[in-house]
A = this chain, B = another copy of it.
Amino acid sequence: MSLLVTGSIGIDTVKTPYGISEECLGGSAIYFSMAASFFNPVRFVGVIGSDCPYELSEVFAGRDVDLTGLEVRPQSKTFRWTGSYHEDMDERTTDRLELNVLEEAPPKVPEPFRDSKFVFLANTAPKLQLELLEQILEPVFVAADTMNCWIREHTDDLRLLLKKIDCLIINEDEARLLACEQNLIKAANMILDMGPWVVVVKKGGSGSLLCSADGKKFLLPAYPADDVNDPTGAGDSFAGGFMGYLAQKGSTGFDILKTAVAYGTVTASFTINDFSLKGLTLIGKSDIENRFEVLRKLTKF
């Protein structure tokens, strides 16, 4: 089934204990699309300025990513992020942030994309996520990401968004913040009460937790990565693998959701192996399938 993503396109400079990656292509829509394209065609909606040094049609060459929704604004500048990861790679500091085009009006969803069935609203102001969602005619399954600043400062908009989506994909600290509850199981249940019928809590190196409103749960450890060089994009790659698999199946039964979490986990495990997009561009679908089977074996008892 059709899969649409709205999110950022960024120029990232990333420092980790294992190296530096300067002026690389990044952003949530980029990582998501690269990850999801292993499973399903992707409809891409995002905006850049005229300064973007990357040609996205080349970046996605050979992948089924429809860039009809890419808007280039000649008078604007592309979003830029510079960040540093700490020794434990689970925490990072933003050294410099230039929102640029992300502070302007969001891109429009092109007419041919409005019939999209699976939709991922990557992290941005919940008001913009709502605006984007309103342009989709009859979505089947809408997932969104959010972060601490929106939870803290745009609570009303976020509460409104939560009532209109099927699934929230969220980091563990953000889940605790949103629910005002330290216990993660309780926090997930409280988020389900806010609207979505599925919550996926991402716990970085500690795996993920899937909960649905009918009381079903699934716990999955992270893929045991012994070669982590750059965690940037891991969350959006997880979302890409997760949503890509769901769109491929065209179904959201709990067993399908569980398998989707496993594919998200495995896809993200490749992202963190290398800097920027390299971890995802140097592999094929068979690499993902192989790690999927390894993860299944590693967790079975």
Contact between chains at B224 and A185 (CB < 8 Å): yes
> In the assembly, how many copies of this chain are there?
2
A300 CB contacts on chain B under 8 angstroms: 300
Contact between chains at A186 and B89 (CB < 8 Å): no
**A217 at interface (Cβ–Cβ under 8 A)?**
yes
Annotate A182-212 by CB proximity to B: 1 below 8 A, 0 otherwise: 1111100100000000000001011101000
Q: Which residue of B lies closest to A298 (CB)?
A: B219
> In angstroms, how far is the closest chain B Cβ from the Cβ of A92?
14
How many residues on chain A are close to B (CB under 8 Å)?
34
A186 to B205 alpha-carbon distance, docked (Å): 13
Contact partner of A218 among B87, B296, B301, CB < 8 A? B301
CB-CB under 8 A for A182 and B89, given A207-B207, A221-B207: yes
Q: Which residue of B lies closest to A263 (CB)?
A: B301
Contact between chains at B217 and A183 (CB < 8 Å): no
CB-CB under 8 A for A299 and B219, given A206-B203, A206-B207: yes
A205 CB contacts on chain B under 8 angstroms: 184, 206
Contact between chains at B301 and A259 (CB < 8 Å): yes
Contact partner of A226 among B186, B206, B261, CB < 8 A? B186
**A262 at interface (Cβ–Cβ under 8 A)?**
yes
Annotate A161-187 by CB proximity to B: 1 below 8 A, 0 otherwise: 000000000000000000000111110
CB-CB under 8 A for A226 and B259, given A219-B221, A299-B219: no
**A220 at interface (Cβ–Cβ under 8 A)?**
yes
**A258 at interface (Cβ–Cβ under 8 A)?**
yes
Which residues does A use to contact B, with CB under 8 Å?
A: 87-89, 182-186, 189, 203, 205-207, 209, 217-222, 224-226, 228, 255, 258-259, 261-262, 296, 298-301
